[in-house]
Structure 1
Amino acid sequence: MNNTRLRKHAGARPLVLASILLASLVQPAAWPSEAWPTDMAVLEQAFPGLSSGPLRAAVLVDMPDGLLLKSGAVEIRRAEIMDIVDPVGSELRAQLDDNLFFLLEHKAIGKLLLVQARKSMPIDENLSDEEAVKRYLIQVVKGISVSEAEMKAYYESNREMLGGALFEQVQSGIRDLLTEKKRQEAADDYLRNLGREIIIEIDRTWVAEQYGRAMNNPVDQARKSGLATMVEFGATGCIPCDMMQPILDRLKKQYGGRLNIVFVHVRKNQILGARYGIRAIPVQVFFDGRGKEFFRHEGFFAEEKIKATLAKMGL
């Protein structure tokens, strides 16, 4: 079984909008200590759940009209965000209008990563900004490997979806799949902590305006309900996604009143899927009653294993 077939069984890759525009060389400042700032209003504390990246640690300030974000010489203005949104067709435009903060964070990531890349590598005038960031991220996740035990665990969890193939037949494909996943997780972890290492300021009034719109979706509403939540990110026509539907129907009946079960069609809700880091489908994400992520799984998830996860959550 080749890697293409393995990916088909592991989950389909949805189309996700990616608009990261890189800037020229800049130099953000650094925090004088490792601690979170205690005398400043931090975004995550004021607007919980809005950011999953470096802007979690951004400091809320009053900014000049039109300026949304500043970190050293890095600046992002509202006009730059609208330059991304304005050309987009009406169907996706509505999603983007509700997720302007998401676009700001992605644009900020591109600019801040470029700063780190230029600081850590020799200046090469022939190297594009995009290539500089790419090389830097490769260095960030360098050394990531997958053990045979991890590969066998994945094989056992997805044996049904692998069509009866022997472990030796799919070992190479599983290694590639898990290595890619671990590299992405390492990069995500680096980005989440980047905001602790540099000072990022963001306009408090604009963020307050965006918060209500960004959180007005089925996933975040369920997370705020006080009940545990299971979210299935998938799409119709995806084989493992379709196999999950009858399981979800049974779970709704069995756990009704104790558990929110939400289905998100990622091809119709691209931005929401991207906000939750969905790069393959199906993905099941479990949140506890406080709305904190408890566990996530990628690929087909057998009913008995879902129930085992829910039992660990006290259900």
Structure 2
Amino acid sequence: MMNKKKLIRIIVPVCIVIAVAAIWFMKNVNSNFDTSDMAAGTNPNDSDKVYSDVNFTLEATSIELDVLKAYGLPIIIDFGADSCIPCKEMAPVLKTLNSEMRGKAIIKFVDVWKNRQAANGFPVQVIPTQILINSDGTPYVPSAKMDIEFTMYALKENNQHIFTTHQGGLTEEQMRAILADMGVSR
């Protein structure tokens, strides 16, 4: 009887130590696990980058621009509404490009009638309005070959360019041309 009690006093702490070690081991192995094969989106031009943590969903209720810029991908944010006619015409284009460009660009749509606060801080005067941002986080500056009208916004104090927008609807061809001008390849 005495030997059983001694054996239990030894086995229980040893089992606890083994369990703690197993938990520690599993947490550390999983945190170092290479998720490149499971990424939600990868950039084929940069096989070392993994974009598994990017939320590539098209519809957004708010925009955290600093978070989006940190991924180093070109960004197009379309501020519109589900019931606006030009917005409805752009919806399939946004859906297609959002799906095709995962890992190459971030394309978002915000319904400003449902999420008015999401447009705060952005120069949205009419809908649809697209905000265009380069992969380095700077406002997009269209090349001379672009035959699309853009509006550039700058700070009055120092004339620093802070936003490039397009007001109105864009066709799929125009959106693809903008993305190509931003450096996105098919």
Q: Give TM-score, length-normalised by structure 2.
A: 0.50
Higher share in helix: 1
Larger relative contact order (C-alpha < 8 A, sep ≥ 6)? 1
Q: Give TM-score, length-normalised by structure 1.
A: 0.30
